[in-house]
């Protein structure tokens, strides 16, 4: 079956750096998305990786290794507003999105 | 950027009644919209794929007679929860992909509807 794993919850300190990992096993691969979701709100798009390597976008970076079925989202200079759930989702061979359960990130002052 | 408007944001209804949720793409067209359900601390669960001008495709285990989907135009899809019961209480989210976007372009989400059935 198809499976996406990411940690349930992580805690980090304001101003620090945190890395949220995601491993996947899917039928085919057409890219990996990271979304941010604040409580009670809809997900918002953060990044998309389809080739191996690191994509940097401001304070957020996303890495992909297709051979390892692995991605991470790196958040730098953490701010209190970064407290949210971070969802990893993979586009499978049928272009269907397979979602992870999300990682709840708690930022402490 | 692409905006998806979902309405209502919150609704409380009595058991046995029906509730309609609207999802509109405001500045783009979408032949396909997706309806998700999300339980607390759980992943997004795809309920159905709404196809403009044709029948929706439902995921396994989702009752199509209970969750009626209509996609009458390229900018509007509706989800009607019929004969709602307390176990239907959940967070429902719609999303859409731009008609002119690639298959791997990101989904744009509505703000979700919190349904509470009493």
B14-62: per-residue pLDDT in tens? 999 999 999 999 999 998 999 999 988 788 899 999 988 888 999 999 9
State which residue of chain A sits closest to B10, comparing Cα positions: A40
Give the residue from A2, A43, A55, A85 with the most B CB atoms within 10 Å of its CB, the best one to mutate: A43
**Band of the pLDDT at B104, cuts 50, 70, 90?**
confident
**What's the token pair of residue A81?**
């507003």
Task: Evaluate the CA torsion angle B46, B76, A84, B41 in order and state its sign.
Answer: negative
Q: HSE of A4 in the Cβ direction (CA atoms, 13 Å)? A: 27
The rounded distance, in Å, linking the Cα atoms of A46 and A43 is: 9
User: Could B112 and A41 be called an inter-chain contact, meaning their C-beta atoms sit closer than 8 Å?
Assistant: yes
State which residue of chain B sits closest to A91, comparing Cα positions: B104
Contact B23, B38 (CB under 8 A): no
- The mean of the pLDDT values for chain B is 92
Task: State how far the alpha carbon of B16 is from the alpha carbons of B8, B40, B66, B81, B88, in Å.
Answer: 19, 23, 11, 10, 11
User: Could A40 and B106 be called an inter-chain contact, meaning their C-beta atoms sit closer than 8 Å?
Assistant: no
In chain A, residues with a C-beta closer than 8 Å to the C-beta of B109 are 42-44
Query: What confidence tens digit (pLDDT) does each residue in A49-77 have?
Result: 999 999 999 999 999 999 999 999 999 99
Q: Does B6 score more than 90 pLDDT?
A: yes
For residue B54, what pLDDT is reported? Answer: 86
Q: How many Cβ atoms are within 10 Å of A87's Cβ, its own excluded?
A: 26
| A106 part of contact set with chain B, CB < 8 Å | no
Query: What confidence tens digit (pLDDT) does each residue in A78-92 have?
Result: 999 999 999 999 999
State which residue of chain B sits closest to A48, comparing Cα positions: B106
Of the candidates B99, B84, B111, which has an alpha carbon nearest to the alpha carbon of residue B17? B84
């Amino acid at each position: 079956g198809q499976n996406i794993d990411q940690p349930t919850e992580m805690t980090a300190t304001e101003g620090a750096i945190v890395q949220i990992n995601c491993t996947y096993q899917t039928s085919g691969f057409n890219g990996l998305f990271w979304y941010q979701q604040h409580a009670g709100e809809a997900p918002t798009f953060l990044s998309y990786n389809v080739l191996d390597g690191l994509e940097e976008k401001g304070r957020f970076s996303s890495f992909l290794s297709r051979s390892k079925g692995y991605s991470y989202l790196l958040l730098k200079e953490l701010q209190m507003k970064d407290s949210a759930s971070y969802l990893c989702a993979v586009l499978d061979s049928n272009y269907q999105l397979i979602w992870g359960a999300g990682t709840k990130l708690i930022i402490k002052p | 950027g692409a905006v998806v408007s979902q309405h209502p944001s919150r609704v409380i209804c009595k058991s046995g009644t029906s509730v309609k949720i609207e999802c509109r793409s405001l500045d783009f067209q979408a032949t396909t919209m997706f309806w998700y359900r999300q339980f607390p601390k759980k992943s997004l669960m795809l309920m159905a794929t709404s196809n403009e001008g044709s029948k929706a495709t439902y995921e396994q285990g989702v009752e199509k007679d209970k969750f009626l989907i209509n996609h009458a135009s390229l900018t509007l899809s509706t989800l009607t929860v019929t004969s709602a019961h307390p176990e239907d209480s959940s967070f429902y989210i719609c999303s859409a992909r731009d008609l002119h976007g690639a298959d791997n372009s990101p989904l744009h989400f509505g703000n979700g509807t919190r349904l509470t059935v009493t």
